[in-house]
Amino acid sequence: MAYQFAEEKVFCSGHHACPGCNAALAIRYIVNTLGKDTVAVVPPSCIAIISGPQPLSSMRIPVYQTTLEASAASAAGIKRALKARGKDHVNVVAMAGDGGTYDIGFQALSSAAERNEDIIYICLDNEGYMNTGAQKSSSTPFMAYTTSTPSGKPTVKKNIAEIMAAHRIPYTATATTGYLDDLVRKVQRAKEMKGMRFIVVLIPCLDGWGVADHEGAKISRLAVQTGIFPLYEVEDGRKYTLNHGPQGIPVEAYLRRQKRYRHLTGEQIDEIQRMVDSDWEYLRTKFDS
Amino acid sequence: MCAVAKEIPPVWTTGWTEELSTGTWRSATPVHEERPSPCKNACPAGGNIPLWIQQVREGQYHSAWLTLVANNPFPAVTGRVCHHPCEVSCNRGEYDGAVTVNALEQFVGDLALKEGWPLPGPENNKDARVAVIGSGPAGLSCAYQLRRRGYRVTVFEAQPEPGGVMRYGIPAYRLPKEIVAGEVNRLLATGIELRTGTVVRGEDLDSLRKEFAALCLATGAPRAKVLPQFNPAGGRVISGLDFLGRVNRNDIPAIGRQVAVIGGGSVAMDVARTARRLGSQVKVLALEDGHNLPAQAQEVQEALEEGVIIRGGVMVREAAEEGGILNLTCDKVVLDPSAPPGVLKPIVIPGVSFQVSADTVILAVGQDPDLDGFPVRQGENRVIEVDHCQATSGAGIFACGDAASTDRFVSAAIGGGKRAVLGIERYLEGRGGNCGGEPVPDEVSFKEINTFYFPVAARVERKAADPVKRLQDFREARVALTEEEARAQAHRCFSCGHCLKCDNCYYYCPDMAVIRETLPEKLYGIQDRYCKGCGLCVEECPRGAIVLKEVRR
């Protein structure tokens, strides 16, 4: 197998993402697939850093850096303004981190979804406030270390894909960097649709998770293969399609490669395994109908 | 103080990050590098296995065959009889089963014979004449490689037909004679003179040296070893080599109903299975225990299927003839594990001796070269001493194959013949030094293979013909792969260390620092200005064709 992607050269070299950064990798395929007729909206996050130190930009498209609360609202406003000026063909994409999506930007996001605003919202989910030194977010998984959960987060990760699907928006999908073809296809699919489109992309944060510089894509695959982060898409909040699911690999294979989990006991790993199994049992029933 | 009003620029973004040189962050840099695969390193003939398998995968069969015959002019032969260490070392063996390299080689080799593809001849002729003594796999490989380089070659063969062990040793059910004839004749057609029925003795070398600029001895190991327990004068004890030679010449010896074969190697299996085809009951008695015979596992398996009885851990103490029957008194033995490698030191287990009777005993306990009178130094193992270029102690005399090695494999002989040519060429051109090549990069290990890109696919080997039908004649015992099967199996090759232009390195770079080159010899470039040295391209290369090298500033 060999990948073949038609990229428009929007994303530029010389950006300031860490070596091996999977967010930068995802951004490459998001903006290069959406193409030049796109406006991006970015709240404070690593994505804001990557989009370039002013006055330089790493994206050859207009990028609006908004507040942490307002990505979805800003994107919706820009899209409505473009439409009013007869530029409906321009894509508007909000690219926010999990902090700006699950937590601080959630109200704006939920409202935009409820209004079915004509925007693409992509959450680059690295499971914490990694840009400010790895604090926990509501996306941080159960038992993961962050600087604000030094003995492991006692609560489970919020399931944003299910929340967004529950808004009955036209398109909800999960994706990750280890499956670039799947990511590109989903961005392309979102680009071709109208209304609120939401994609959550799992982004292994090399520094925040304690992963080797070269291993981001591999870790992201393990997240899928262990069943921790199945890749699927949902149309109109109802029609579920599984793209890549668990392959019987124990969660330990995923957890043991990350420093944020190195404090885990065998019992805790077993508990996580049971939770993942149970979540998968619940999710898989949705693919049947 | 008068403050100058700060101008608000009409455009906030004045340029792109491409002005920034993130390459200065780097402490390591990825390098695309063709690296040896384990199969290539294991191949005694030095075959470029990943390349020709890739060509099979692409349906480029003629190219695949040309790649094969660059190192080995007998792919249809070795595709059947090679002990294929390539498959033992294959990285895919640690995943879902080694690639069936041997079966693929047979597929390409057979196709070439069917299509009648000629071997590439020399580009230009040279004046120097070289004599090769012996037309087995080593001698013919040497002659062929010399001819390819333009030398004028004469091959001397004592037997009436060329081919050596391929024709007179290996039985037809493993290696059909028309295959041997096809590949040997095709080789001779490149312009090699063959003189059959011509025995070259040690004393002949001086006169040959006057006629030829260099000599290569490839006389094999025709002298069968004997065991003191067996009276060599008794007609009921024959050597495996003689037996196989006679059967191959269709001069079938009478061996009776009960046959005992002494030995546990490939020749012992060939003898046993040949005797079964002649209608005898066959017992193989080997010193080694039955699970660790030196013969290839598949040969042992096929012998068992054909009803050969194999008794390992057995040593014959004495043999006595009584009423036309040989009675063998046997001891159970274990091999001393402290013996040096290659030396068998049996320890008798007392009190468990037993009798085996046989009409004929066939000894297959190894062979030695017959080098009496040859002015070349021999080692303690009775083979000619050679250096890395296969040069002997005699000036201008080279040696290869079983005469110069205890590695008694057809493919090792082919490799030796090729190596001898490097030595002969250096000698004829008056160059000194040794034949050690340039330092090569490290071999690709399994952990460098990114198995995500290789869906699990079953290994499919050639099927064996029905054992009962096999015993009826000397027709080939294994069924070749079909084209469809061969293509599917070729697709399983990881192509370790060989870039296939899959573009993974290009696509996986978060910094767009990998660029696709248009030059045929250079596929990808790394933009030093941007590469941060993360190694993601190295990790995502499916096949270990990129390495990360430390940057020293």
Distance, in Å, from the CA atom of A152 to the CA atom of A143, rounded to the nearest integer, reads 4
Distance, in Å, from the CA atom of B404 to the CA atom of B388, rounded to the nearest integer, reads 12
Nearest neighbour of A13 by CB, restricted to B18, B536, B538: B18
The reported pLDDT for the residue numbered B291 is 87
Residue B263 corresponds to which tokens in the numbers above?
A: 């030995």
The residue type found at A159 is N
Q: Do B535 and A20 touch (CB under 8 A)?
A: yes
The reported pLDDT for the residue numbered B14 is 84
A179-209 CB burial, b ≥16 within 10 A, e <16? bbebbbbbbebbbeeeebbbbbbbbbbbebb
H helices of B406-543, in order, are 410-428, 467-470, 483-490, 504-507, 536-540
Mean pLDDT of B6-34: 87
CA distance B510 to chain A (A): 4
CA angle B168, B344, B342 (to 5 degrees): 70
Q: Which of B2-6, B185-189, B264-268, B509-513 has the lowest mean pLDDT?
A: B2-6
Taking every pair of C-alpha atoms in chain B, what is the biggest distance, in angstroms?
Answer: 133
Percent of chain B residues past pLDDT 70, beyond the cut: 97
CA distance B48 to chain A (A): 23
- Is beta strand A171-176 parallel, antiparallel or unpaired with respect to A231-235? antiparallel
Chain A CB within 8 Å of residue B213 CB: no
| Residues B510/A20, Cβ–Cβ less than 8 Å | yes
Distance, in Å, from the CA atom of B19 to the CA atom of B75, rounded to the nearest integer, reads 55
Percent of chain A residues past pLDDT 70, beyond the cut: 99
Q: Do A56 and B14 touch (CB under 8 A)?
A: yes
Nearest neighbour of A20 by CB, restricted to B450, B510, B529: B510
Rg (CA), chain B: 29
Distance, in Å, from the CA atom of A105 to the CA atom of B328, rounded to the nearest integer, reads 92
A111-136 pLDDT, tens digit per residue, is 999 999 999 999 999 999 999 999 99
Contact map slice: A 207-236 vs B, CB within 8 A: 212-218, 221
Beta bridge partners of B217: B133, B399
Mean pLDDT of B309-322: 91
The reported pLDDT for the residue numbered B436 is 64
Domains of chain A (ranges; CATH) run 22-288 (3.40.50.970)
A117 to each of A81, A100, B36, B230, B277, how far by Cα in Å?
12, 18, 56, 97, 82
Mean pLDDT of B361-369: 93
- Whether the pLDDT of residue A160 is over 70: the answer is yes
Mean pLDDT of A233-262: 97
Q: Do A17 and B510 touch (CB under 8 A)?
A: yes
Residue B217 corresponds to which tokens in the numbers above?
A: 């001895």
Taking every pair of C-alpha atoms in chain A, what is the biggest distance, in angstroms?
Answer: 60
**Residue of chain A whose Cα is closest to the Cα of B515:** A13
B28-66 pLDDT, tens digit per residue, is 999 999 999 999 999 999 999 999 999 999 999 999 999
Residue A228 corresponds to which tokens in the numbers above?
A: 């921790």
Neighbouring residues of A153: CB distance < 8 A, sequence distance ≥ 6: A136, A140, A141, A142, A143, A144, A146
B432-442 pLDDT, tens digit per residue, is 666 666 678 89
Q: What is the dihedral of CA A47, A49, A55, A56, to 10 degrees?
A: -70
A277 to each of A51, A108, A187, A247, A287, how far by Cα in Å?
38, 32, 28, 12, 16
| Residues A32/A7, Cβ–Cβ less than 8 Å | yes
Residue B181 corresponds to which tokens in the numbers above?
A: 């004839």
Q: Which residues of B touch A57 (CB under 8 A)?
A: 13, 15-17
- Is beta strand B397-399 parallel, antiparallel or unpaired with respect to B360-363? unpaired
Query: Same CATH fold, B230-364 and B129-222+369-428?
Result: yes
Nearest neighbour of B507 by CB, restricted to A5, A12, A55: A5
3-class DSSP state for residue B397?
strand
3-class DSSP state for residue B473?
coil
B1 to each of A143, B6, B7, B8, B99, how far by Cα in Å?
59, 15, 18, 21, 83
- Whether the pLDDT of residue B90 is over 60: the answer is yes
Residue A281 corresponds to which tokens in the numbers above?
A: 């049992």
Residue B168 corresponds to which tokens in the numbers above?
A: 């007179």
The reported pLDDT for the residue numbered A15 is 97
The reported pLDDT for the residue numbered B517 is 84
**Residue of chain B whose Cα is closest to the Cα of A25:** B510
Percent of chain A residues past pLDDT 90, beyond the cut: 97
Chain A CB within 8 Å of residue B250 CB: no
Q: Which residues of B touch A22 (CB under 8 A)?
A: 510
Domain ranges across chain B: 17-34+499-550, 38-117+450-490, 129-222+369-428, 230-364
Chain A CB within 8 Å of residue B168 CB: no
B147-191 pLDDT, tens digit per residue, is 999 999 999 999 999 999 999 999 999 999 999 999 999 999 999
3-class DSSP state for residue B188?
helix
Q: Which of A167-181, B32-46, B218-232, B238-252 has the lowest mean pLDDT?
A: B218-232
Chain A CB within 8 Å of residue B135 CB: no
Beta bridge partners of B524: B516
Q: What are the respective helix, strand and coil percentages of chain A, to the nearest 5?
A: 40, 20, 45
Q: Which of B14, B536, B539, B546 should we substitute to test contact with A (largest number of A Cβ atoms within 10 Å)?
A: B536
Residue A133 corresponds to which tokens in the numbers above?
A: 């030194």
Residue B52 corresponds to which tokens in the numbers above?
A: 């020709």
| Domain over B230-364 is classified CATH 3.40.50.300 | no
CA distance A2 to chain B (A): 5
- Whether the pLDDT of residue B232 is over 70: the answer is no
CA distance B453 to chain A (A): 7
Residue B5: pLDDT band with limits 50, 70, 90: low
- Total number of residues shown for chain B: 553
3-class DSSP state for residue B331?
strand
Q: Which residues of A touch B549 (CB under 8 A)?
A: none
3-class DSSP state for residue B483?
helix
Distance, in Å, from the CA atom of A266 to the CA atom of A220, rounded to the nearest integer, reads 22
Residue B450 corresponds to which tokens in the numbers above?
A: 């990114």
What is the CATH code for B17-34+499-550?
A: 3.30.70.20
If we measure between CA atoms, which residue out of A137, A158, A157, A159 comes closest to residue A146? Answer: A137
- Whether the pLDDT of residue B4 is over 70: the answer is no
Within 10 angstroms of residue B29's Cβ, the number of other Cβ atoms is 18
CA distance B57 to chain A (A): 13
| Residues B32/B496, Cβ–Cβ less than 8 Å | no
Q: Which of B128-137, B504-513, B516-525 has the lowest mean pLDDT?
A: B516-525
CATH superfamily of B38-117+450-490: Alpha-helical ferredoxin (1.10.1060.10)
CA distance A120 to chain B (A): 22
**Residue of chain B whose Cα is closest to the Cα of A49:** B17
Select the more confidently predicted residue: A163 or B325. Answer: A163
Element (H, E) at B268: helix B266-277
Q: What is the dihedral of CA B338, B339, B345, B347, to 10 degrees?
A: -10
Select the more confidently predicted residue: A194 or B374. Answer: A194
Element (H, E) at A181: helix A180-192
B455-507 pLDDT, tens digit per residue, is 999 999 999 889 989 999 899 989 999 999 999 999 999 999 999 999 999 99
| Residues B492/B459, Cβ–Cβ less than 8 Å | yes
Nearest neighbour of B534 by CB, restricted to A19, A57, A221: A19
Residue B3: pLDDT band with limits 50, 70, 90: low
Q: What's the start-to-end Cα distance of chain B, in Å?
A: 49
- Whether the pLDDT of residue B1 is over 60: the answer is no
Residue B13: pLDDT band with limits 50, 70, 90: confident
Distance, in Å, from the CA atom of A21 to the CA atom of A44, rounded to the nearest integer, reads 17
Rg (CA), chain A: 18
B401-454 pLDDT, tens digit per residue, is 999 998 999 999 999 999 999 999 999 988 766 666 667 889 999 999 999 999
Residue B101 is classified by DSSP as: H
Distance, in Å, from the CA atom of A20 to the CA atom of A2, rounded to the nearest integer, reads 21
Residue B290: pLDDT band with limits 50, 70, 90: confident
- Whether the pLDDT of residue A9 is over 80: the answer is yes
B385-412 CB burial, b ≥16 within 10 A, e <16? ebeebbbbebebbbbbbbbbbeebbbbb
If we measure between CA atoms, which residue out of B244, B241, B243, B260 comes closest to residue B326? Answer: B260
- Whether the pLDDT of residue B17 is over 80: the answer is yes
Q: What's the start-to-end Cα distance of chain A, in Å?
A: 31
Chain A CB within 8 Å of residue B527 CB: yes
3-class DSSP state for residue B365?
coil
3-class DSSP state for residue B214?
strand
Residue B5 is classified by DSSP as: P
Q: Which of A213, A214, A220, A257 should we substitute to test contact with B (largest number of B Cβ atoms within 10 Å)?
A: A214
> Which architecture, in CATH terms, is B129-222+369-428?
3-Layer(bba) Sandwich (3.50)
**What is the DSSP annotation of B60-93?**
-HHHHHHHHHHH-S-HHHHHHH---HHHHH-GGG
Residue B95 corresponds to which tokens in the numbers above?
A: 């995943």
Q: Which of B84-93, B183-192, B383-392 has the lowest mean pLDDT?
A: B383-392
If we measure between CA atoms, which residue out of A242, A218, A19, A200 comes closest to residue A102? Answer: A200
Neighbouring residues of A115: CB distance < 8 A, sequence distance ≥ 6: A76, A196
Distance, in Å, from the CA atom of B354 to the CA atom of A221, rounded to the nearest integer, reads 62
Mean pLDDT of B504-512: 97
B422-426 own/partner pairs: CB under 8 Å, 24+ apart: B422/B389, B423/B387, B423/B388, B423/B389, B423/B390, B423/B391, B423/B398, B424/B130, B424/B142, B424/B146, B424/B151, B424/B214, B424/B216, B424/B398, B425/B149, B426/B389
Distance, in Å, from the CA atom of B30 to the CA atom of B547, rounded to the nearest integer, reads 6
**Residue of chain A whose Cα is closest to the Cα of B9:** A55
Chain B CB within 8 Å of residue A19 CB: yes
